[in-house]
Structure 1
Amino acid sequence: MAQPSITMRLTTLCFITILYVDLTAVSAYTPHFRPHHLRSQDMTGIWKLTHQSSLLPNVKSDDNTSEEEILLSLNEDGTFDRYETSSELQDQDLHMTLGRGGSWEYRDNKLFLAPQRPEDADPSKVHDTLLAGELNIKVSDSLVLEDKVELEEGNADGEVKKEDNNNAEIDVHLSIAQGNISVGKFMYPRKHKAFFDDPMLFKKSSVGSFSASQVLGNLNARLKSEREEKKPVAKYHKKDFHGRKFYLTANPHPVDPAYAEQDKRYDETKVLHHMQFHTIDFHKNNTFSVIGTEKILRGRFGLAGEKRDRLWFQVSLFGTGRSAPGSVYSEGRLLTHEDRRGYVGKVEEFQKNNSTRYFITEGLYYYGTDLQRALRPDSGGVFSLQEIDDEAKEEEEDYGETDSEDCADENAWDEEDAFQ
């Protein structure tokens, strides 16, 4: 058996070494502190910055120098400014530099602060300052509101009943243990989209360090009701349409006069207006049927939209076959491909006698089966659904009885009239 060559052995050894390094890096990575858990809007709020070094280049700090603190407000538009009660700037490096405001950015779990230059400074002599630091995340339990605490019933001592809740609320506190303060010249203008790209500074020089903590922010200053995004409430449900009958009126779009003039074969007097009028029944199995004299149209219906206020129903010609269980198909000797329509419209309701509600839907109809994905750009026409209320049903029944009575009266034999 041939021995492997030296090149093959080195290649295998390099592959094993690279694989071992990658696995080591993955095992050392802590999932709880992944940077993508935080968003840029989580940085907004009030921050307290502390430092003991000088912000000027080539200036060494003394051991007896007192720490300087400043409160900054990080705004949602990517800017920051000083958050102080007094309007005058203190005679300190930190206040003189950061007190003018500037821009901030959150990238790769790091927070960047770029203060503004002095307005009256010489551009050739002034330097730019950049503060950057990696964020630390600390999680703690949230405070419980007093009005949420209930007393245990039947306890004379008034002991508080503690509920065992595994989904307890937590607060997230952001901080920077040791950030870096650098000076130099910004590579791009402040409004450039690559302003915060690395490297930001030309002739970068480190002049000190700082620490920061978020005093008030989105992750530690809102109640549970404010943090939870309110899900849209469904306005209607499929069961609201079960057992209801509607008048369906479909009217195609009119012909564009500009195209009609260019078409030599177009004759407006011979155009057939394909206006359709049917009665449609919605059933409890989320299907519908339109029963005509020569064909029966069937299909499924549902609700769309965030508020579930748009009704759609799709005619199915063949379904999945007559032998398949649950298949919905249309039938009739005059059934054509033009019957394969989809209808989408907004649902409106009105009440009658302050008790019963009736639905009216107006929208567009399309050819094809694209309703579940997106609306087709070119619709075939407009349609309307108007529910048949109880009074209309009674009128239809009365009308049918009246017709039969009239016919009976006309055919009745009147002896007195016969001899006149």
Structure 2
Amino acid sequence: MKTKLLLTLVLAVSIALSAFTIKDVSRSDSISAVQQNPFIVVLDAGHGGTDPGNLGNGYYEKDIVLDVTLQVGKILETQPGFKVIYTRKTDVFIKLNERGPVANEVDADIFVSIHCDSHHTQAYGVGTFVMGLDKSGKNLETAKKENEVIFLEDNYEETYAGFDPNSPESLIGLTIMQEEYLDQSIMLAGLVQNNIVNNLKRKNRNVKQAPFWVLHSSYMPSVLIELGFLTNNTEGKYVNSKKGRKEMAEQIANGIMSYKKNLELATNDFKNPAITEQEIDEAIKVSEKKVYRDINFRVQIAASGNKLETKPENFKGLKGVDRVQVGALYKYYYGNTSDYNVIQLLQTLAKEKGYSTCFVVAYKDGKKLNLSKVLKTEDK
């Protein structure tokens, strides 16, 4: 669906702008822009300090995931265009509710949390999770185990406002905030998962949805990786080994680099023009209309716990940004139109301004709709 949508966007922009001449961006200019605006990755090594994580077969999860996380970061730091930030680089305890906000504070592009799994059987395999809840709820147990770390914190009842890791109702309530980034999170998770499974020949436990507290508070594509089961006699030994840690770190780093490259393809390899607001206005005038009756298309450019004034200077010069509060979260939207071609052009301008991961949403009578379903309906 993403590829199809991207091709539609490129075609729409090309047709709409064919009536006048605009400036091309050279490959060197594109590379320079990437260097000026680094791709920020926040890496989160699970557990730490007084929280050892699981101790399957006598191994310490906190030590394994810290080692793998640091190796992933070291690889990424050697690549142009990357900036890596860690929630922890030593054996310290970081509260669960402080990990995701680290990524929010630096306006990260992605958040990656690394863990090891455990089970009372000889279960084994690699799994990568995104925020959500599968229909059967069968992944609740994995989420419960990771969320129960809150019991190690002082005043956890006040900090987590009555959240109960063992309550399905509490867990389901976590899924709302990350739903805007689900598609991008799944793409990132899939790239990492496929690398580990295919290149290291590990058992595939697939990309799954589960309600993890550490993911719910981050306002960008976010994934949690379970490297394998320390409780499995064979897999635990591999995950704990120097060889296993190195190999998994390489595959995770490669997955992240592939994700970044895919994003760059949307802006560089299709050779989209550098578009100004005036050119967008002209393009809108000549673009073919594609109106959906009673539908309001908008571009979501940001989501934050901070309440910002909707002045152009707060949004890289974009005019007419709206702020909508959803619980404790503020979402910021640019544009409001029933014409899908117009909203695609506005999305292109937002990306040119630096909102590389902005996306189109659809509303009807104030209720958010599934964009792909809206686009499948007949034009009105």
**TM-score normalized with structure 1 length:** 0.17
Higher relative contact order (CA 8 A, sep 6+): 2
Higher helix content, 1 or 2: 2
Indicate the structure (1 or 2) with the bigger Cα radius of gyration. 1
Q: TM-score, normalised by structure 2?
A: 0.18
